[in-house]
Structure 1
Amino acid sequence: MELTVATILVAFAGVFLICVMKGAFGGGFSIIGIPLLSIVMDPVTAGGLLAPLFVAMDLFALRYWKPSTWSKPDLVLLLPGLIFGIGFGYLLFRLLDHHAIAIVMGATTLIFVGLWLVRGAEIPKRPRSAPKAIAAGLASGVTTMVAHSGGPPLAMYLLPLGLSKEIYAGTTSLFFTVGNATKAVPWLLLVKPTTDLWILMAICLFAIPSGVSLGWRLHAVLDQRQIYRACYGLLVLTAAKLLWDGVSGLMT
């Protein structure tokens, strides 16, 4: 990766956008990072850049998403599967070609968008289920390790529970705080960041306080559906680029 002005601007913008989503909704939008950053760098390098930054974002966001916003019974069921899923995802990552990873990331992103469109109708409430929670945590661990995209499996479990917006966001925030802290070291081992990448990480740190704070202020005043539409529209475009890069790379 070459440290250019374009690389710095795109990376800073991507980190800032993730932070806004984390401040506004607690988490689950990390998937937007790698497709956006893949405009200026390899998606695996983008994953290595974001992994330590996610930890910093989560720690800063916890000043807003306090323990009173956590659904502790659900977290007790979800977190063991998350940890095991990250370990399995690490092994899967080492076996996949980088172009294949780009395809997985792009396809996962489009699936994420499709899930949101399907959820446009009202979701019927259902009771808490330990097997479903464990399965959701495991699936989220695998996808968050492979593509920083653990939001969909978690959302499929939490949304039907009928949690309030604050409890949903707070639970999601702590879930990914644990997940991102767990996967940071494996990602750094896989990517082995260069000096330029460490410098870019340091620059992007400055996007975190303002991004999370802005998201928190927007949490109560903006219509959540409008923000979702804009984000998912961006995801479709960036996912298409990832799929093109991956498929064309495998064919050459």
Structure 2
Amino acid sequence: MELTVTTILIAFVGVFLICFMKGAFGGGFSIVGIPLLSFVMDPVTAGGLLAPLFIAMDLFALRYWKPSTWSKPDLVLLLPGLVAGIGCGYLLFRVLDHRAVAIVMALTTLIFVVLWLAAGSEVTIRPRSSPKAVAAGLASGVTTMVAHSGGPPLAMYLLPLGLRKEIYAGTTSLFFTVGNTTKALPWLLLAKPTGNVWIVMAVCLLAIPVGVWLGWRLHGKLDQRQIYRACYGLLVVTSLKLLWDGISGYMA
């Protein structure tokens, strides 16, 4: 990766956007900021750059999303599948067709959002389900490892539970803290950062405190209905980005 002012600025803005999403929604929408990085580096280099930064972002975000905001019964069900999914994703990284994974995940998520819209944009409260939680954790682990897009599977499980907005954000934040810590070493093995990447990484660290704090302030200003609508809206953006990545990959 060539070290230029443009590379540093674009990477900084991308990391800031990811941090803002973590502060506002607890995590899971990192892919919203990743397209910016694709302008100045390839996806594997971006994965190696973000792997350590995700840990720093998550640890800072936990200053705001404290244990009182975690849905512990859901995390107990979700986390084993997450860790197992990351392990599967690492083993399959070199043989999985990332384009197909992106397309399937995008279409599944879009169907989920369409069903929500068909229900009148209201959250239909559903009971906790162990099989669904395990499946969501596993799918999130695989997709976060191969495409940094573990948010949709988790959201499809958590949103129908109708959790309070701070519980939703706190649970998501801890979920991805565990996930990003687990996948950091595998990603660094797959994409060993060069000297230039370490420099960009160091600069991007400066974006974390302000980005997370500003996102957290936005979270406090939005009510429950607005937070859920924003989450569904971000799912659409995320899904369309995944769909484009998959389709354009086949067309290239």
TM-score of the superposed pair, with normalisation by structure 2:
0.87
In 1: Cα distance, 2:137 partner to 2:239 partner: 25
Contact 2:66/2:170, CA 8 A, preserved across alignment: yes
Q: Which residue of 1 is the match for residue 245 of structure 2?
A: 242
Q: Which residue of 1 is the match for residue 212 of structure 2?
A: 212
Q: Which residue of 1 is the match for residue 95 of structure 2?
A: 95
In 2: Cα distance, 1:239 partner to 1:128 partner: 28
Specify the code of the residue in structure 2 equivalent to 1:213: W
Percent identity (aligned): 70
- Pick one of 116, 119, 122 that aligns with 2:116: 119
- Cα deviation, 1:81-112, whole Å, max 9, x if unaligned, reads 1100000011111224xxx5366447745754
Contact 1:103/1:246, CA 8 A, preserved across alignment: no
Q: Which residue of 2 is the match for residue 54 of structure 1?
A: 54
Q: Which residue of 2 is the match for residue 23 of structure 1?
A: 23
1:46-195 mapped onto 2 (5 Å cutoff): 46-96=46-96, 100-101=97-98, 104-105=101-102, 108=105, 112=109, 115-120=112-117, 121-195=121-195
Contact 2:24/2:215, CA 8 A, preserved across alignment: yes
Specify the code of the residue in structure 2 equivalent to 1:101: H
In 2: Cα distance, 1:205 partner to 1:32 partner: 18
In 1: Cα distance, 2:174 partner to 2:64 partner: 11
Contact 1:106/1:243, CA 8 A, preserved across alignment: yes
Contact 1:33/1:50, CA 8 A, preserved across alignment: no
Q: How many residues are matched?
A: 246
Contact 2:109/2:239, CA 8 A, preserved across alignment: no
Unaligned ranges ≥5, structure 1:
none
The alpha carbon displacement at 1:221 in A equals 1.5
Q: Over aligned residue pairs, what C-alpha RMSD do you find?
A: 2.5
Unaligned ranges ≥5, structure 2:
none
Q: Rate the CA distance shift 1:239–1:124 in 2: closer, same or farther, 3 A.
A: closer
The alpha carbon displacement at 1:232 in A equals 6.2
The alpha carbon displacement at 1:47 in A equals 1.4
Q: Rate the CA distance shift 1:55–1:229 in 2: closer, same or farther, 3 A.
A: same
Q: Rate the CA distance shift 1:242–1:4 in 2: closer, same or farther, 3 A.
A: farther
TM-score of the superposed pair, with normalisation by structure 1:
0.87
The alpha carbon displacement at 1:122 in A equals 1.9
